[in-house]
Structure 1
Amino acid sequence: MLQAEIKSLLKEDISILIKVPNSAKHYLCDCGEASLLTVKEVQSVSAVFISHTHIDHFSNFDGIFRHQIGSGEKIVICGPKNIHQQIEARLKSYTWNLIDENAIVYEIREIVSREEINVYKIHPPHWNLELIKTQNFLFENEYVNVDFAILDHKTDSIAYLFKEKDSVTFNENASEFKKGKWISELKTAFENNDSDKEIQIEETVYRASAFFHLLTRNTGYKLGVIMDHAVCEDNYEKIKTVFKGADLVYIETFYKDEDQEFAKINYHSFASASGKVMNECEVKEAIPIHFSRRYVESDQLEIETAFYKAFQGN
C-alpha cells in the first residue's frame, strides 16, 4: 500500500513524500521547505510532482537538486505549463564547470492539457532543453500510474492521483499441486485474460482457465494529493472525475471558514468546502493540509474540525 508522509511543519511550505512498498524509489509532491525531509529520502526520490510554481511549492527545488546531483540517475519532474522553462532557469543560474554531463538527467513532463504532455530532457553542464516527444499519459511504471486534474488557482495547479497497480494473489491452500513456475505463468494468463493459455503442472498440460478460481485480483490503492485550488464548480467537477472513490486524499484547506472571503480573493479553498467535495467524491479517508501561515495550532484544530464535519456530511 502506498504511504504518504507530510515533511513540512505547520508554518513551513508544503512537501509530501510518497513511499512505494517493496521499492527503494519514492515520489515527492511539491518542493516546500520540508525540514523533516532527510538527505537519504531526497536521494531515494525518482520522480517529483509539482502542483504549481508559487514560491511556497517550489522554493526548495534547489535543495532537493543539491542532494541528487552526482547520482547519475534519471529523475522525472512533472508539472504545469512552462515547468520546463522554470527548471531550466533555476539550473542555469549556477556555475557548473566541475560537473560531468553524466552527473544526472532530468526528464521534465510539462502538462499542457489532459491529452498533451510534452517531455523534455535536460542535463549538465549546459542544461539545454531538448524536446523528446509529446505523449498522452503522465507517468507509469511497474508500481503505479499517475492520473491528474488541472485545477484553477489563477494559474494551473495540478492535482495528482497515484494509483497502485492491481495485484493478483494465489490461494495455495486451495491447490493440490506443488508450487512452481506454473503459478507465475497462471497469473500472467489471468492478467492477460488468456483462458486458453497452456499451463504445465507436474507433467500434465492444462488450460489456464481451469485454475483461475485459485486467483484473486486485488485492486490497487489510490492516493491523491490536491493542492491549491479555487472554490468553484469547474474545479470540483474535475476533482470528482479523477478522485472519485479514492482510498486516501490529502487536500489543500488553506483557510478557516470564517476567512473564506480571503479564499475567494486568493483562489484558495477553506475548511468546509474541502471537506464537502471529499464527501461528494466518496473517498474513504481525507486529510486537510497546507494551512495559511497566519494560523497557529489552535486554528489548525478549528480547520480540521470544520473539515471533518463537512466530510462526514454533518
Structure 2
Amino acid sequence: MIQAEIKSLLKEDISILIKIPNSGKHYLCDCGEASLLTVKEVQSISAIFISHTHIDHFSNFDGIFRHQIGSGEKVVICGPKNIHQQVESRLKSYTWNLIDEKAIEYEIREIVSEEEINIYTLRPPHWNLELAKAQNFLFEDEYVNVDFAILDHKTDSIAYLFKEKDSVSFNENISGFRKGKWVSELKTAFENNTADKEIEIEETVYKAGDLFHLLTRNAGYKLGVIMDHAADEGNYKKIRTVFGGADKVYIESFYKDTDQEFAKINYHSFASASGQIMNECQVKEAVPIHFSRRYTESDQAEIETAFYKAFHKN
C-alpha cells in the first residue's frame, strides 16, 4: 500500500513524500521546506509533482535537485502551465562547466488541460528545452497511475490522485490444486481477459475462464494530495470527480473558519470547507495540511477540530 509522509516542519512550507513499500521508489509532492527529507530519500525520487509555483511550494526545488545531479537517472517533473520554462530558468541560473551531459535527465510534463500534456526534456550542461511530444495522460509506471484536477487558486493549482495498480490474488484454500507456474499464467489470462487460454494443471488442461473463480481482483489504494484552492463550487465539482471514494486524501486547510474572509480574498480553503468536501467525496480518511504560518499550535488544533467535525458530519 502506498504511503505518504509530510517532510516539512510545522509552520514551514509544505512537502510530501509518497513511498512505494518494498520498491525503493518515491514520489515528491511539492518542493517546500523539507527538513525531514533525507538525502537517500531524495535520491530515490523518480517523479516530482508540483501543484503550482508559488514560492512556498517551489522554493526547495534547487535543494532537491542538488542531491539528484550526478545520478544519471531520468526524473519526471509534473506541473501546471509553464512549469517547463520555470524549471529551465532555475537550472540555467547556475554554472555547469564541470557537469557531464549524462549526469541527469529531466522529463517535464506540463499540464495544459485535462486532455493535453506537453512533454519536454532537459539535459545538462546547457539545459535547453526540447519538446518531445504531447499526450493525453499524465503519469503511469509499474506501481501507480496518477490522475489530476486543475483547481483555481487565481492560478492553476494541480491536485493529484495516486492510484495503486490493482492486484490479483489466488485463493489457494478453494482450489484443490498444488500451486505452481500455472497460477501466474492464470493471473495473466485473467488480467488480459483471455478466457479461452489453456492452462495445464497436474497433466490436465483447463480453459482459463473455468478457473477465474479462483482469483480475486483487489482494488489498488487511492491516495490524494489537494494543495491550494479556492473554496468554491467550481473547484468542488472537479474534486468530487477525481477524488470521490479515495482511501486517503491530504487537503489544504489554510485558514481557520473565523478567517474565511481571508480565504476568499486569497483563493484558499478553510477548515470546515475542506472537511465538508472530503465528506461529500466519501473519502475514507482525510488529513488537513498546509496551515497559514501566522497560526500557533493552538490555532492548528482549532483548524483540525473544525475540519474533522465537518468531515465526520452525517
Cα distance in 1 between the residues matched to 2:196 and 2:142? 26
Deviation for aligned residue 1:215: 0.5
Cα distance in 2 between the residues matched to 1:273 and 1:176? 53
Structure 1 gap segments, 5+ residues each: none
Deviates more, 1:198-207 or 1:291-300: 198-207
Deviation for aligned residue 1:310: 0.4
Cα distance in 2 between the residues matched to 1:111 and 1:181? 42
The TM-score, its normalising length taken from structure 1, stands at 0.99
Deviation for aligned residue 1:142: 1.0
Paired residues for 1:1-314 under 5 Å: 1-313=1-313
Letter in 1 for 2:40: K
Deviates more, 1:206-215 or 1:249-258: 206-215
Letter in 2 for 1:139: F
Cα distance in 1 between the residues matched to 2:263 and 2:175? 59
SS at match of 1:42: helix
Q: Deviations over 1:149-174 (max 9, x none)?
A: 00000000000000000000001222
SS at match of 2:273: helix
Cα distance in 1 between the residues matched to 2:261 and 2:176? 67
Q: What is the aligned-residue RMSD (CA, Å)?
A: 0.7
Deviation for aligned residue 1:15: 0.2
Letter in 1 for 2:177: F
Deviates more, 1:54-63 or 1:32-41: 32-41
SS at match of 2:242: helix
SS at match of 1:95: coil
SS at match of 1:263: helix
SS at match of 2:189: helix
The TM-score, its normalising length taken from structure 2, stands at 0.99
SS at match of 2:196: coil
Deviation for aligned residue 1:203: 2.1
Deviation for aligned residue 1:202: 2.1
Letter in 2 for 1:105: E
Cα distance in 1 between the residues matched to 2:117 and 2:111? 5
Letter in 2 for 1:258: T
Letter in 2 for 1:10: L
Cα distance in 1 between the residues matched to 2:132 and 2:181? 39
Deviation for aligned residue 1:22: 2.6
Deviation for aligned residue 1:313: 1.3
Deviation for aligned residue 1:177: 1.9
Cα distance in 2 between the residues matched to 1:180 and 1:99? 50
Deviation for aligned residue 1:250: 0.2
> Aligned residue pairs: how many?
314
Structure 2 gap segments, 5+ residues each: none
Deviation for aligned residue 1:181: 1.2
Cα distance in 1 between the residues matched to 2:129 and 2:301? 45
SS at match of 1:110: strand
Deviation for aligned residue 1:5: 0.3
Letter in 1 for 2:156: D
Letter in 1 for 2:93: S
Moved >3 Å (runs of 4+): none
SS at match of 2:86: helix
Cα distance in 1 between the residues matched to 2:45 and 2:11? 24
Deviates more, 1:172-181 or 1:272-281: 172-181
Letter in 2 for 1:185: E
